[in-house]
Chains A and B, each alone.
Chain A
Amino acid sequence: MSGQAQSLLDLYRTMLTIRRFEERANALYMEGKIPSTLHLYIGQEAVATGVCAVLKRTDYVLSTHRPHGHAIAKGVAPRDIMAELYAKVTGCCKGKGGSMHAGDIRVGMPPAVAIVGGNAPIAAGMALACKFQKNGGVAVSFFGDGAANEGAVHEALNMAAIWSLPVVYVCENNLYGASTSFSTVFNIANVADRAPAYGIPGVIVDGNDVEAVREVAIEACARARAGAGPTLIEAKTYRLCGHSRSDPLTYRSKEEEAVWRARDPLVIAAQRLKERGEASDADLARVEAEVKAVIDEAVAFAETSPDPLATDALKHLFVGESA
């Protein structure tokens, strides 16, 4: 979905695609169509959408165990992700990866890294390659508040800083790492407060406001491309769903959930579109219908795609051994 100057309605469409994709994936999981657990991105759509709106197809995005939103925003086809969730051979990882490893290198997104924090040094390395190659490319590492406490993240941020790498670290602070709340594992109020310790800018943004996210991403990417080094963006957001499909959500309060539900990024964007006269209810309904068609098609594709062969397990261990 990368490209120049997307309108708010474009951003809204991407966010809605993510939301409807996740809702449908959840329903299909409940029906037993998807063999694995899922970590859904519901509530955080504005972060991936706002950041990826600034990226070129050739820029890199590194994701986590919660990758569907990043993948859709970076331009991985929803049908390819859905087929992967179905464990079909047509999936974006040919059925090898599953939900936690969604990605498609053709649009700059390697398989998502489900080892929390593990993608941060990889993003630094991809940015290092961009720097060597002088290709103007940027790498973005999405990671959670929980991941921010991994040693790998600290090491990566420091290296990115000392080498002025063209990388943007986007911490999606949704207040929880699994069941563990932010305040129990941080002695500071913001992840971005750590940025000065690495000697890089730290920016806090409302992660439920897609335009605000895009704004800070524009600046961070410009800085990266100009050779001025990394930025640590902290997007304050919330997952409006369980951590994984087996999460009874008994560790957080209904009141807190209600506060954030009222700040649903899609609702915020829709209201703004109408206030500004950029979209009518009819326009929004049309987008809804367009998105529904995309998701329906993705599900139909997944349903009708073939399973891999059992012996496909042997393929792809090394490059070039088999297609």
Chain B
Amino acid sequence: MPMMSIAEALRLAIREEMERDPRVFCIGEDIGVTGGFGGAFTVTLGLSEQFGHERVLDTPISEIGLAGAAVGAAMAGMRPIADVQYGDFLFCMMDQLANQAAKMTYMSGGTVSVPMVMRAPVGSTRRGSQHAQSLEAFMCHVPGLKVVAPATAYDAKGLLKAAVRDDNPVIVFEHKLLYGSKGARSEKGALSPVGEVPSEDYIVPIGKGIVRREGSDVTIVGKLLTMYQALAAAETLAQEGISAEVIDPRTLVPLDKELILASVRKTGRLVVAEEDNRTCGWAAEIAAMVAEEAFYYLDAPIARVSSIDTPPPFAPVMEAFYLPSADKIVDAVHKLMGKN
């Protein structure tokens, strides 16, 4: 089976979907320019050569326009895969996503559909406050949007394909430090997981999480980069005799609640790790859900490991303080286990 980075797996998914379905097209800034970058993180590199500039459509720097064009094209029978260069610019397009895309089906009594995909890179990579935010919680808060967050190459291909085929608007969060983008456009400190990606057509169903590591003492839920931090933490904890189960929900909306609940019923402890900042965050939602539905199985309070409630700071020392990490997850587990 071919080994691929996430950027390559996403590119393959887009290519296959465009070959399969003439309604699929890409729209975004700097995605198809000849001699260009293939988007900010190389995901669309080479696609305009294969499909032409009409189907790999470079836009002006006009986020409201490009998001709205994706909404409209989707409503009128196309399947756009839109691209925002940095997740932070989702804020620029928020009206089109939150007021328009998310509500069309509902407001029309179920008669209108908006089958669009919006891909958004997130994660803090030493670029300061406006190119670093993790906005998963924001988007999860909007009823009417589906939200996925693939952390492996296999899931990247399968979830993007599922997103394209879904009849609803789907936001795809991708982490900048997980792309494995090659050459000059790779990021310092990237993890770049490479994984097996089947050449044949497959989807990873939206709404299905996965247990990444089995354990019995504590459940750690992480998404994107924090899933890898959770795995690293689990490894450290294992050496101390603590058995951690790591869950990657993969889809954030609709959430695979049962997978998380089943794990917590088994372990009795829960740590949720996210790069979003803490207050009203994604981890808060998972914690609330577990408190509501599995309270009596809990042996300890639920812990959150989140970014702090500030904008992402620039200086590396402050950025490290701001961000979650494997060590911070280990500390959180220690507290739950009564170890210090």
Contacts and interface: CB of A to CB of B under 8 A. Distances in A.
Interface of A: 35-37, 87-89, 93, 95-101, 113-118, 146-147, 149-152, 177-181, 184-186, 246-248, 250-252, 307-314, 317
A96 B314 CA distance: 5
B88 interface: yes
Contacts of B129: 96-97, 101
A35 B313 contact: no
Contacts, number: 136
Given A114-B130, A149-B60, A87 B184 contact: no
Interface residues of B, number: 42
Contacts of B37: 178-179, 247
B36 interface: yes
A150 B61 contact: yes
Chain B interface helix/strand/loop/mixed: loop
Interface in B34-75: 34-37, 58-65
B131 A114 contact: yes
B185 A246 contact: yes
B321 A311 contact: yes
Contact of B58 (A36, A87, A184): A184
Chain A interface helix/strand/loop/mixed: loop
Interface of B: 29-30, 33-37, 58-65, 88-89, 91-92, 126-131, 184-185, 188, 308-311, 313-322
A306 B126 CA distance: 18
Contacts of A177: 29, 60-61
Contacts of A101: 128-130, 314
Given A87-B315, A95-B313, A180 B321 contact: no
B315 A308 contact: yes
A179 B30 contact: yes
A77 B61 CA distance: 32
Contacts of B314: 35-36, 87, 93, 95-98, 101
A247 B314 CA distance: 21
Contacts of B127: 36-37, 98, 100
Given A179-B33, A250-B35, A310-B321, A149 B315 contact: no
B130 A309 contact: no
Given A95-B313, A180-B29, A185-B59, 13 more contacts: A35-B188, A87-B315, A89-B315, A96-B313, A101-B314, A115-B91, A117-B61, A151-B64, A177-B60, A178-B30, A179-B35, A251-B34, A308-B315
A100 B320 contact: no
Contact of A115 (B58, B130, B185): B130
B318 A96 contact: yes
A244 B89 CA distance: 18
Given A180-B30, A246-B184, A312-B318, A116 B61 contact: yes
